Amino acid sequence: MSFSAQELGKQIAALRIQKGMTQEELGERLGKSKSAISNYENGFNIPTFPVMLELARIFNVNLSFLAGESDLQTRFNQFSMSRRMGVYGTDRAQEIFSGEGDETRNYIDLPHDCNILKDENYIALKADDNLFSSIGVKRQDYMIVKREDQLSPRFLNVIAVKNHIMAGKITLSNGFFSVFPTGDMDTPPMRFHAQKDEVRIVGRVVKTIRNESYAI
């Protein structure tokens, strides 16, 4: 089966209506104008990869259902909708421990080459700012973190300082967490008192994933 731009547009329109959304509401979810949604639905424009991925998330369908077995589909087949992982913002650390916000959680669909088990031992953190650029994580990129309650000296660790996430080489001594954001232990660290600063260990970084939708 091969979808033309018009057939793809009809599919988007049908799913939007089934979802009970207006073109304006869908546009707000995608960061697009109402006219842009109309152009998609009328087959005047074909959504880019990031838009298709977000549409699949919004409509809770897989990409092949949107794109069909066509050349268009080959642009998206590196992703599997069954390997979905909830994303936490790095400025909302309390949700990691409380489970708050699950109903409005965003998701990342892991690449096929990401050998990460989708279970409760792993979470995805989305960098909300540039604080992690020194360890190679740019704004809007993702860090896949294995939940652990102990620091791992050989890895990049993640801690929550009150409601904010910190990552880097991290040590704990005499009740103080020392964070080396660049990973260089010879540079002066940021120090946080375990109790006064309400520090909690989140885990260690096992993989970073570039957010191509932000780069495009």
Kindly state the tokens that stand for 51: 């838009």
Distance CA 22, CA 168 (A): 43
The two tokens of residue 175 are 């009740």
Q: Alpha helix (H) ranges present in the chain? A: 5-18, 23-30, 34-41, 49-59, 63-67, 71-74, 94-98, 212-215
14: its two tokens: 């049908």
Q: Which tokens belong to 115?
A: 């050998």
Residues paired with residue 111 on neighbouring β-strands, in sequence order: 79
Report in angstroms the alpha-carbon separations of 68 from 4, 5, 7, 38, 49: 9, 11, 10, 20, 14
Separation of alpha carbons 128 and 71, rounded Å: 34
Read off the pLDDT band of 42 (50, 70, 90). very high
DSSP strand pairing (122-126 vs 79-89): parallel
Distance CA 47, CA 67 (A): 10
* Model pLDDT, residue 101: 54
Chain segment 87-113, per-residue pLDDT in tens: 888 887 888 887 665 544 577 766 655
pLDDT for position 105: 58
The pLDDT assigned to 195 comes to 94
Predicted confidence band of residue 37 (pLDDT cuts 50, 70, 90)? very high
Count Cβ atoms below 10 Å from residue 146 Cβ, excluding itself: 18
Q: Which of 29-33, 67-71, 191-195 has the lowest mean pLDDT?
A: 67-71
pLDDT tens digit string along 112-152?
A: 555 555 455 888 888 877 778 777 788 888 888 889 999 98
What pTM was computed for the model?
0.57
- Give the integer Cα–Cα distance in Å for 183 and 155: 9
Please state, as a whole number, how many other Cβ atoms lie within 10 Å of the Cβ of residue 72.
20
Least Cα distance to 51 among 71, 76, 68, 74 occurs for: 76
Percent of residues, the chain, with pLDDT higher than 70: 75
Q: Are the beta carbons of 8 and 43 closer than 8 angstroms? A: yes
What is the pLDDT, as a whole number, of residue 73? 38
